[in-house]
Homo-oligomer: A and B are copies of this chain.
Amino acid sequence: MANTYRFGPHIIPASQIFFRSKYSLGLVNLKPILPGHVLVISRRSVPRFLDLNADEVSDMFQSAQRIGKVIEKEYNSTSLTIACQDGPHAGQSVPHVHVHIIPRRLGDFGNNDDIYDEIARNTKEYLTKDSDSVDIVGIGAALAAPPEKKGVDFDERKPRSEQDMAQEATRLAELLDQHQLS
């Protein structure tokens, strides 16, 4: 098993990978928007969804389904946000195909404009502590801030420790193994 994996220009340690399929990987986040927010990426480093072949597309979303089933339960949620920002003008900052999976439940962001502040805080790239790139989930935030035009004070949250991330990855990997066996 490799010690590190490539995610666009980033090097991801194996400790942050909780899922491996033939063509896809599951990664935990340095700064999840909500608990359990993870990524599915293609093993092959290509920028666009359109660059994937049919087998890779199938594998990526069958993987997303398996991962979603596990994280929805593990994080006591009832729904999932599944989103791919495909290309820089859709808010993609890491030029490597990736799908966000976010466990959701009633009231997790309340019902008012507080969410907009939260989105703004969550737009800074969460994968590398020193990155200045921007990756935004979903159309709202994606539409709001093309990566070419930053300006908002994006991120006041502290990144998680590598230990926290590794622990979550280990836990999720165990759950996915159990799910596969059941």
Contact = CB atoms under 8 A, between A and B. Distances in A.
Nearest to A90: B79
A83 interface: yes
Interface residues of A, number: 58
A138 to B, nearest CB: 3
A14 interface: no
Contacts of A62: 54, 57-58
A46 interface: no
Interface of A: 33, 49-50, 52, 54, 57-58, 60-62, 65, 68-69, 72, 77-92, 100, 102, 104-109, 111-113, 115-116, 118-119, 137-146, 148-149, 151
